[in-house]
Amino acid sequence: MTASDPTLPPAIECTSLVRIYRTDNLEVQALQGLDLHVAQGELIALVGASGSGKSTLLGILAGLDAPSAGSVRVDGRELAGLGPRERMLYRRRSVGFVWQSPPRNLLPQLTALQNVALPQRYNGVGRAARRARALELLDSMDVAHCRDRTPGRLSGGEQQRVAIAVALANSPTLLLADEPTGELDAESAHIVMAALREANTAHGVTTLIVTHDEEVAGQVRRTVAIRDGRTATETHRDEPASGAADAQADGEGATRPRRADVEYAVVDRTGRVQLPPEFTEPLGIRNLVRLTREPGHIEVWPEREAQQEPEPAKPEEDEA
């Protein structure tokens, strides 16, 4: 992650974001008041069960969709009220997008070099500069050898690395990837993940990756979990896994375990916290809990326990 400049606005700031899909007689609340704050230059993974709202959020951040309510700011700019032309320019200049399916990312009749040059052409970049930038990006994604081949003659992993180069072509501030390793074997997934990290560090682009793959999520410092259309928990890692091994070598060649990951529950602006089912279900917690304030922490009691007043802790007896 590149160090973020405190004078810059956050890369992403979602506040009470709501997206309701309405069909004939059905209403689906895909996002239900989601809050998310991402600093400039961060690389984060977004995880959550199928239907939790990940793709909906990505579509809104990409400018492909608009929220029903709430605010979404990218680099301090409110997206909710953009008109069609501003939205098109935002998509063209500010965001790069990598889809799960390699063929969806590239035009099949164009070579890798032409695919990376094309978005720059739409942005008014001259021929020589387009070509130079495309070659530089293909090199930085380690696919320079693929420059004159069409996508059909590239492996899935090579296609995804060319797709990252395409996404970076117009120097976006935000790189979004929806399950970019979802159709790849483990080795290719590892290489594509390394390319996304390279995009984040060497090109300084804030990167958000939606994934179901725990190994991919384990390779970033911050993983945000969405549940029922809201950010529910976050896992922060001091030392993300490199992807291949879960231990790191010290100077003398010995390995030491990674420091423990820390999982936080997200507290939203109104003080709401989602209690994960692995905490609530064993205790039979459903509708009500009782909170007690303790020195330095808060205790959450199931309703039936709360009805029987918790006994105050007895001072420890002197064993002498």
What tokens were used for 281? Answer: 């279900």
CA atoms within 13 A on the CB side of 80: 15
Name the residue nearer to ligand ATP (CB basis): 7 or 23.
23
Name the residue nearer to ligand ATP (CB basis): 99 or 301.
99
- Quote the least distance from Cβ 30 to ligand ATP, whole Å: 3
User: Are 213 and 183 contacting, i.e. CB atoms less than 8 angstroms apart?
Assistant: no
Which phi and psi angles does 92 have, rounded to 5°?
-75, -40
What tokens were used for 313? Answer: 């802790």
Name the residue nearer to ligand ATP (CB basis): 9 or 182.
182
Distance CA 2, CA 40 (A): 8
User: Are 173 and 11 contacting, i.e. CB atoms less than 8 angstroms apart?
Assistant: yes
What track of x and - describes contact with ligand ATP for positions 56 through 95 (by CB under 6 A)?
Answer: x---------------------------------------
- Quote the least distance from Cβ 266 to ligand ATP, whole Å: 16
- Subset of residues 24 to 63 that bind ligand ATP, contact rule: CB under 6 A: 28, 30, 48, 50-56
Q: Pairing relation of β-strands 43-47 and 222-227?
A: parallel
User: Are 173 and 73 contacting, i.e. CB atoms less than 8 angstroms apart?
Assistant: no
- Quote the least distance from Cβ 225 to ligand ATP, whole Å: 11
- Quote the least distance from Cβ 208 to ligand ATP, whole Å: 13
Single-letter residue type at 290? R
Binding residues with ligand ATP: total (CB under 6 A): 12
- Quote the least distance from Cβ 31 to ligand ATP, whole Å: 8
- Quote the least distance from Cβ 103 to ligand ATP, whole Å: 18
- Subset of residues 7 to 26 that bind ligand ATP, contact rule: CB under 6 A: 21, 23
Longest dimension (CA), the chain: 86
CA gyration radius, the chain: 23
Name the residue nearer to ligand ATP (CB basis): 41 or 102.
102
| 308 makes contact with ligand ATP (CB under 6 A) | no
- Quote the least distance from Cβ 87 to ligand ATP, whole Å: 18
Name the residue nearer to ligand ATP (CB basis): 52 or 181.
52
Distance CA 289, CA 113 (A): 59
283 burial level (CB within 10 Å; 0-12, 13-18, 19+): middle
Name the residue nearer to ligand ATP (CB basis): 58 or 143.
58
Name the residue nearer to ligand ATP (CB basis): 38 or 141.
38
| 207 makes contact with ligand ATP (CB under 6 A) | no
CB atoms within 10 A of CB 13: 18
Name the residue nearer to ligand ATP (CB basis): 21 or 279.
21
| 100 makes contact with ligand ATP (CB under 6 A) | no
| 107 makes contact with ligand ATP (CB under 6 A) | no
207 forms beta bridges with 43, 175
Taking phi first (over 0 means left), then psi (-120 to 50 degrees means alpha), and beta for anything else, what does residue 280 get?
A: alpha
The set of residues, in sequence order, having a beta carbon less than 8 Å from that of 81 and lying 6+ positions away, is none
What tokens were used for 4? Answer: 């973020």
- Quote the least distance from Cβ 10 to ligand ATP, whole Å: 22
Name the residue nearer to ligand ATP (CB basis): 7 or 50.
50
Distance CA 72, CA 79 (A): 6
Q: List residues binding ligand ATP (CB under 6 A).
A: 21, 23, 28, 30, 48, 50-56
